A = this chain, B = another copy of it.
Amino acid sequence: MLMYDSAVSGNCYKVRLLCAQLGTPLERRELDVLDRSSRPELLGPLNPALRIPTVVLDDGRPLAESNAIMTYLAEGTRYLPEDRYERAQVLQWLFFEQYSHEPYIAVARMWAHFGIEVSDEQRAAKRARGEQALAAIERHLAECSFLVGGRYTIADIALYAYTHVAPEGGFALDPYPQIRDWLACVAAQPGHIPIDA
């Protein structure tokens, strides 16, 4: 499988981590996340949204959106429950991640990483919504060791990807002891690789 990738992207890291744990070989093609001028040519025929990760399966068919790619790859494995309700709960967390978490936690990290200047108002808005997302995870983990069904799934991978590097965007994890315990559990799973692997 070929993946249009970025070493710094947590969305791409989700797929790299799951593939490592599945033992699925991955050919990585690095794209720039700031200069997107080559994307219409490279990704246009594969993904109308022109985002990464975009993968090309071994049979040549393209697939995009990190959480859709993970769901596809995890089908029939221990990383995606078979039970219909538990699968829906996994999807609930995957959509939470893309709507309520990534746009704040990941974007704040990108601003820091690339030294992008933003207004105090923009920074405060990102911080407030990011803290809301972390608080929601913290409340949930108070009752559960993993996000769904008491065991490690792609929901944990999706939320781990940007949560474990949230401090790089200025989010302190000290107020979230459940999250810190859970991050340690995720990192201790067999076959785990770090984001810079």
Interface pairs (27), CB distance under 8 Å: A49-B100, A49-B133, A49-B136, A51-B100, A57-B85, A63-B85, A64-B96, A65-B96, A66-B95, A67-B91, A67-B95, A68-B88, A68-B91, A69-B88, A71-B88, A71-B91, A72-B84, A72-B85, A72-B87, A72-B88, A72-B91, A75-B84, A94-B95, A95-B95, A98-B98, A99-B103, A103-B103
Residues of the B chain whose Cβ atoms lie less than 8 Å from the Cβ of A127: none
Q: Are B91 and A65 in contact, with the CB atoms below 8 A?
A: yes
> Is A139 an interface residue when CB atoms closer than 8 A count as contact?
yes
> Is A92 an interface residue when CB atoms closer than 8 A count as contact?
yes
Interface residues on A, range: 35 or more
Kindly identify, within residues 108 to 146 of chain A, every residue whose CB is under 8 Å from any CB belonging to chain B.
Answer: 133, 136-137, 139-140
Q: Mark A3-30, 1 if CB is under 8 A from B, else 0.
A: 0000000000000000000000000000
> Is A102 an interface residue when CB atoms closer than 8 A count as contact?
yes
Chain A positions near chain B (C-beta within 8 angstroms): 44, 48-51, 57, 61, 63-69, 71-72, 75, 84-85, 87-89, 91-92, 94-96, 98-100, 102-103, 133, 136-137, 139-140
